[in-house]
């Protein structure tokens, strides 16, 4: 065990999955129904300071300057309980977190948040965890967070249980100069979150077929990434996203995350591809569309996306590195 410093700060990137995680085979440990593959997103980051405070009665959570109570705080406390049990420490903590991406626009922050929290909390309590152990720990907070621990292009192997369900790097961030142009689409609806969505997945008659075919898609995706074969990646990633949304739309109750502008962007991306542009889309549990392309055409893709009616803004991210410790500054909470 390393020295306990009781306070540590970490930064982690968000990630976008090319092969999606949707549905658990065990909910409590977040053991996924299938493996998944993603790319870390540099610049879309969460920076989190954790400070264990002797004598504090409860944990405290501040995200982007706002005190968080209720379900958000309960989820963080349950996660910190795991770290406290591993470290043999009962002190409550103050967690101060900031996202570099705009909040409330439907960009998932749980991946970067739990990766940064896993790193900061374990470091503060003197646990020197390997990348695998950190990834396993982050998984307990949010499944996709385990993929934000290693750098670059990452695979989460489903594993046979808790001990071997972790993520590892397939290739570093500089392996392939891809860009993610994220079309932000307005939504008035409060969406069903992914924790609930994973439970609903099994009520769709399509989930078993999606899961059964996952090893084939994973293999295609792995090969496409290693060979930097854009066309092959486009084909398998778009198929995989569509399969996940087919499961969402056919679960009980059904989840329909797409807005009219989501569909407009999907059509636009396919029209561009017919014109020879290397682009594909992938969509998470929300209306925003991640449009992936080689970095050299990101400006034209961004401009094109801005022209689609209903697209409010376009964020840009390149492949990102691993979760990392940083010097603690004066975090404002
Ligand atoms: O990590 P969670 O529970 O937020 O689930 C993530 C689910 C998707 O973003 C829709 C897919 C994925 O693999 O990231």
Shared-domain flag, residues 169 and 200? no
Whether 243 lines ligand 1, by a CB cut-off of 6 Å, is no
Strands 178-185, 311-317: parallel, antiparallel or unpaired by DSSP? antiparallel
Whether residue 32 is predicted with pLDDT greater than 90 in this model: the reply is yes
Q: In terms of domains, do 89 and 131 share one?
A: yes
> pLDDT tens-digit profile of 123-155?
999 999 999 999 999 999 999 999 999 999 999
Of 174, 150, 154, 185, nearest to 314 (Cα)? 185
Which two tokens mark 97? 């977190």
pLDDT exceeds 80 at position 3: no
Shared-domain flag, residues 243 and 304: yes
pLDDT for 333 beyond 60? no
CATH code of residue 301: 3.30.70.890
CA of 166 to the centre of ligand 1 (A): 15
What pLDDT was estimated at residue 102? 77
On whether both 155 and 219 belong to a single domain, the answer is no
Where on the phi/psi map is residue 94: left (φ > 0), alpha (ψ -120 to 50), or beta?
beta
Same domain, 120 and 142: yes
Percent of the chain with pLDDT over 90: 90
151: containing domain = 6-173
Per-residue model confidence (pLDDT) at position 330: 58
Check whether residue 167 and residue 282 sit in a common domain.
no
Regarding whether 215 and 138 lie in a shared domain, the answer is no
Spacing, Cα 30 to ligand 1 middle (Å): 11
Q: Which residue has the tokens 């020879």?
A: 276
pLDDT band at 231 (very low <50, low <70, confident <90, very high): very high
pLDDT beyond 70 at 77: yes
The per-residue pLDDT for 193 is 86
Q: Is 23 in the pocket of ligand 1 (CB under 6 A)?
A: no
CA-to-CA distance for 167 and 135, rounded, in angstroms?
6
Q: Give CA 318 to chain center in angstroms.
A: 15
For the Cβ of 39 lying below 6 angstroms from any atom of ligand 1, the answer is no
Give the span between the Cα atoms of 253 and 257, in whole angstroms: 13
54 in the same domain as 122: yes
Residue 289, both tokens: 């569309």
Return the half-sphere exposure (C-beta side, CA atoms, 13 A cut-off) of residue 192. Answer: 17
Q: Is 14 in the pocket of ligand 1 (CB under 6 A)?
A: no
Q: What percentage of the chain has pLDDT greater than the value 70? A: 95
- Asked if pLDDT for residue 189 goes beyond 90, the answer is no
The residues with which 97 forms a beta bridge, in sequence order, are 48, 63
Task: Give this prediction's pTM.
Answer: 0.96
d(CA 324, CA 263): 37
């Amino acid at each position: 065990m390393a020295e306990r410093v009781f306070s540590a700060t970490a930064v982690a990137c968000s990630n976008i999955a090319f092969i999606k995680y949707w549905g658990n085979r065990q909910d409590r440990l977040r053991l996924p129904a299938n493996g998944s593959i993603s790319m870390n997103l540099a610049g879309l980051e969460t920076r989190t300071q954790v400070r264990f405070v002797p004598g504090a009665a409860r944990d405290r959570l501040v995200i982007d300057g706002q005190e968080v109570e209720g379900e958000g705080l309960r989820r963080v406390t349950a996660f910190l309980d795991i770290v406290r049990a591993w470290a043999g420490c009962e002190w409550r903590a103050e967690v101060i977190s900031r996202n570099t991406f705009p909040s409330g626009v439907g960009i998932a922050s749980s991946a970067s948040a739990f990766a940064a929290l896993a790193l900061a909390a374990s470091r503060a309590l003197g646990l020197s965890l390997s990348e695998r152990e950190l990834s396993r720990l982050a998984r307990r907070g949010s499944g996709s967070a385990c993929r934000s621990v290693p750098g670059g292009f990452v695979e989460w192997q489903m594993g046979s249980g808790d001990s071997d369900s972790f993520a590892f790097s397939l290739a570093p961030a500089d392996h392939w100069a891809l860009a993610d142009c994220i079309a932000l689409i307005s939504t008035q609806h409060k969406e069903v979150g992914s924790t609930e969505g994973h439970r609903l997945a099994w009520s769709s008659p399509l989930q078993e077929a999606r899961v059964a075919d996952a090893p084939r898609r994973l293999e295609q995706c792995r090969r496409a990434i290693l060979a930097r074969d854009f066309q092959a990646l486009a084909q398998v990633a778009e198929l995989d996203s569509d399969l996940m949304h087919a499961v969402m739309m056919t679960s009980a109750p059904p989840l329909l995350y797409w807005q009219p502008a989501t569909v407009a962007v999907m059509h636009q991306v396919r029209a561009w591809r017919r014109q020879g542009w290397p682009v594909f889309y992938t969509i998470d549990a929300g209306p925003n569309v991640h449009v992936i392309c080689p970095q050299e055409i990101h400006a034209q893709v961004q401009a094109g996306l801005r022209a689609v009616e209903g697209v409010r803004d376009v964020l840009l991210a390149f492949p990102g590195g691993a979760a990392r410790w940083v010097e603690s500054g004066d975090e404002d909470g």
